[in-house]
């Protein structure tokens, strides 16, 4: 009897450890990262052809805006990002990059033109970049704010004006730090 209990406990522990291994922790809103984490690095391929690593932007405050042309909330939020964040602080050490989820370059170029934004949009085929930050089945319209050292300092999901203003103020405060 004791051997069976011992064996059952050991098998249960092995199954638990095996099941946990390889599965990322999921946080609020389907995020796989949280504030305080180092931002996962990836190759940014802007729709205009420029390529660089996220880590190449160290020394700047970075805003990653996960988006898609079919997302109505994204279309509402993007003009605010353009006017109130990007245009206000693009010359102050801020990089804003829209990461367009799983759409062809032609669609992304038209989307950028239709919305009237000037910050870069990058391609994310198969939502591989998105999958570094959130569960692939989670929705877009999310922002990841990264400090000059590459640490995540703010995360959003959807677009609420109060949260947007909080994010904007945090970005502006972070830009004032040298």
Instruction: Please give the structure tokens belonging to residue 160.
Output: 């609420």
Residue 113: is its pLDDT beyond 70? yes
**What is the arithmetic mean of pLDDT over 53-78?**
98
The vertex-90 CA angle with 51 and 163, nearest 5°, equals 100
One-character DSSP codes across 113-131: HHHT--S-EEEEGGGTTHH
Instruction: Please give the structure tokens belonging to residue 167.
Output: 């994010």
**What is the arithmetic mean of pLDDT over 90-118?**
97
Q: What's the mean pLDDT when you consider all of the chain?
A: 90
Could you tell me if 98 and 78 are in contact, meaning their C-beta atoms sit under 8 angstroms apart?
yes
**What is the arithmetic mean of pLDDT over 136-159?**
96
pLDDT in tens, 63-74: 999 999 999 999
**So what's the pLDDT on residue 24?**
76
In which element (H, E) is residue 98 found? strand 94-101
Of 5-9, 63-67, 121-125, 153-157, the range with the lowest mean pLDDT is 5-9
Q: Which residue has the higher pLDDT, 21 or 160?
A: 160
**So what's the pLDDT on residue 1?**
57
**So what's the pLDDT on residue 73?**
96
Cα torsion angle, 72, 73, 74, 78, sign: positive
Could you tell me if 65 and 75 are in contact, meaning their C-beta atoms sit under 8 angstroms apart?
no
- Mapped onto helix, strand or coil, the DSSP state of residue 45 is strand
Instruction: Please give the structure tokens belonging to residue 102.
Output: 């799983």
The vertex-46 CA angle with 44 and 51, nearest 5°, equals 50
**So what's the pLDDT on residue 12?**
45
Domains and CATH numbers, the chain: 25-176 (3.40.30.10)
**What is the arithmetic mean of pLDDT over 92-108?**
97
Residue 173: is its pLDDT beyond 80? yes
**So what's the pLDDT on residue 178?**
74
pLDDT in tens, 30-44: 999 999 999 999 999
Distance of CA 34 to the CA centre of its chain: 10
């Amino acid at each position: 009897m004791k051997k069976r209990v011992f064996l059952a406990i050991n098998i249960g522990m092995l199954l638990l450890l095996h099941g946990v291994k390889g599965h990322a922790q999921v946080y609020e809103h389907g995020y796989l990262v949280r504030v305080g984490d180092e931002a996962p690095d990836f190759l940014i391929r802007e729709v205009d052809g420029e390529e660089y690593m996220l880590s190449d932007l160290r020394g700047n405050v970075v805003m990653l805006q996960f988006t898609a042309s079919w997302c109505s909330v994204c279309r509402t939020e993007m003009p605010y990002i353009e006017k109130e964040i990007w245009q206000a602080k693009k010359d102050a050490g801020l990089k804003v990059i829209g990461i367009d989820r799983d759409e062809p370059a032609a669609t992304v170029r038209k989307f950028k033109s239709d919305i009237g934004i000037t910050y870069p949009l990058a391609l994310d085929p198969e939502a591989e970049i998105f999958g570094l930050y959130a569960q692939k089945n989670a929705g877009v319209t999310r922002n990841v704010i990264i400090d000059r050292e590459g640490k995540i300092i703010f995360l959003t999901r959807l677009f609420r004006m109060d949260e947007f203003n909080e994010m904007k103020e945090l970005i502006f405060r972070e830009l004032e730090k040298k």
